[in-house]
Amino acid sequence: MTIKKQQVVDALKQVIFFAKKDNIVDLNMIQDISIKGKEIKVIIIFEKLDDPAVGIIYNSVVKTLKNEFGDDITVDVKPVADDTPGPLSGVKNIIAVISGKGGVGKSTVAANLAVSLAKSGSKVGILDADVLGPSVPIMFGVEDGQPKVVEKKGKAVLLPLENFGIKILSIGFFVKPDQALMWRGSMANNAFNQLMTDSDWGELDFLVIDMPPGTGDIQLTLAQNYNIRGAVLVTTPQKVATADVRRAAMMYRQEKLMIPLLGIIENMSYFIPDDMPDKKYYVFGQGASDRLANELGMKILGRIPIDAKVSETGDKGMPLSLVDKSAVSKAFAEIAVKLKAEVAKL
C-alpha cells in the first residue's frame, strides 16, 4: 500500500491538543510530513518543548498512524520549538563546542573561538551551558554581572550581558560563587532551555555554546530541540581523551540526531619554549587526534599549543585571543577561518 501525504494529514486530525480544544492539523502544529515507503516522519511545532502535552501528543500520533496504516509502519515524531520570530530567530548559526570528558580546556576553547570569530568580523554570542561548572563569566570578566529582564509580548525575557563585543549568558549569573548546584537532569534541562529561548540574543552570525562534558541530558535536548548548525569536538592528544570524545561524536551521529561534526580542535597540542621558538615538545603525545579524525572522516581544525598565558588571561577576564599575538592567538584565528568555511559548505 502506498501511503499518501493527504492520508496522513487526515489521520492526524484525530489527534487532539486538549489544552487548545482542537486537533493538531487545524492548529497549524504540523511543520512537515515526509513519507518513505513504510516510514512516516512528522515534525510538530510546540510553543514550549517542556509542555507535558508534548509526550501525550507524541504517543497519540504514533498510535493513530499505526492504527490507520498498520503496525508494520515506522513512525518518527520530532517535536520542535515554535520557529516564529522569537529570541533565536536572529541567530544564523548555533555552534556547539563539545568534549567527551572534563579537563581538556573546552571552555577556554569556546571562549577564544568566540573572540576569534568576533575579531573576524562576525556578530557573536556565547552561552555557557555547562550548568554544573560555569566558567565563561570569569573568562570574560563579567562574573559579577546581572542580566536585565525586560518584558516582550507579555513575556519576561533575559538580555545577555556584553563584553568585548560578544553577548554572554551563563547559569553562573544566577547562582552565588560558593553555591553548589545539585540539580537533577530535568532541572538542568529547564535552566538550559530558559537561557536558549527566554533570552533576546538579537542578530548574531554565531552563537557558540560551551556544552557540559559527556553525553547527558543537555546534549540530547540541544540536538533534538534546536536547529544546530554543527558541533566542534575538543580533545587533547592523549589516547584516553580521544576515546571519550569519540563517544561524544558518535552520539551526534545517531540517525535521529545527525548534527554535523565540523571538525576537531586539539588543545594542549605541544609546548614551545620561549628561548627555543623553533622547538616543539609534544608533552602529551602525538597522533591520537589524527587517527580519530581519520576514523570519523573529519578535519583537524587546528592545534592549540600549551601556553601559561591562556589560563592567566582567562582568569583575568580577557581571553588570550583578544590581547595577544602569540601562537595561541594565531591558531584560534586560523580555526575561525576554517570553521566559517566548513559552515559555508552546509
Task: Provide CATH 3.40.50.300 ranges for the chain.
Answer: 91-345
The residue whose grid cell reads 550548568 is 131
Determine the average pLDDT of the residues in 67-93.
Answer: 84
Residue 261 grid cell: 561534526
Distance CA 125, CA 144 (A): 18
Record the pTM. 0.72
Task: Provide CATH 3.30.300.130 ranges for the chain.
Answer: 5-81
The answer, yes or no, to whether residue 85 has pLDDT greater than 60, is no
Continuous H helices in 211-287: 217-225, 239-252
Distance CA 101, CA 246 (A): 10
The residue whose grid cell reads 530535568 is 186
The answer, yes or no, to whether residue 231 has pLDDT greater than 60, is yes
H-helix or E-strand spanning residue 72: none
Nearest to 202 by CA among 171, 152, 163, 159: 159
Which of 175-179, 240-244, 283-287 ranks highest by mean pLDDT?
Answer: 283-287
Determine the average pLDDT of the residues in 292-304.
Answer: 90
Distance CA 42, CA 12 (A): 10
CATH classification of 5-81, choosing from 3.65.10.10, 3.30.300.130, 3.30.10.20, 3.40.50.300? Answer: 3.30.300.130
Torsion sign over Cα 253, 257, 261, 265: negative
CATH classification of 91-345, choosing from 3.40.50.300, 3.40.50.10070, 3.20.20.100, 3.40.190.290? Answer: 3.40.50.300
Nearest to 196 by CA among 147, 134, 143, 127: 127
Residue 295 grid cell: 576514523
The answer, yes or no, to whether residue 133 has pLDDT greater than 80, is no
Percent of the chain with pLDDT over 70: 92
Identify any residues that bridge with 150 across adjacent strands, giving them in sequence order.
Answer: 157
Give the list of residues 6+ apart from residue 235 with CB closer than 8 angstroms, or none.
99, 100, 104, 241, 242, 244, 245, 264, 265, 266, 267, 288, 289, 292
Instruction: Using pLDDT thresholds of 50, 70 and 90, give the confidence band for residue 207.
Output: very high
Parallel, antiparallel, or unpaired: how do β-strands 22-23 and 16-17 relate?
A: antiparallel
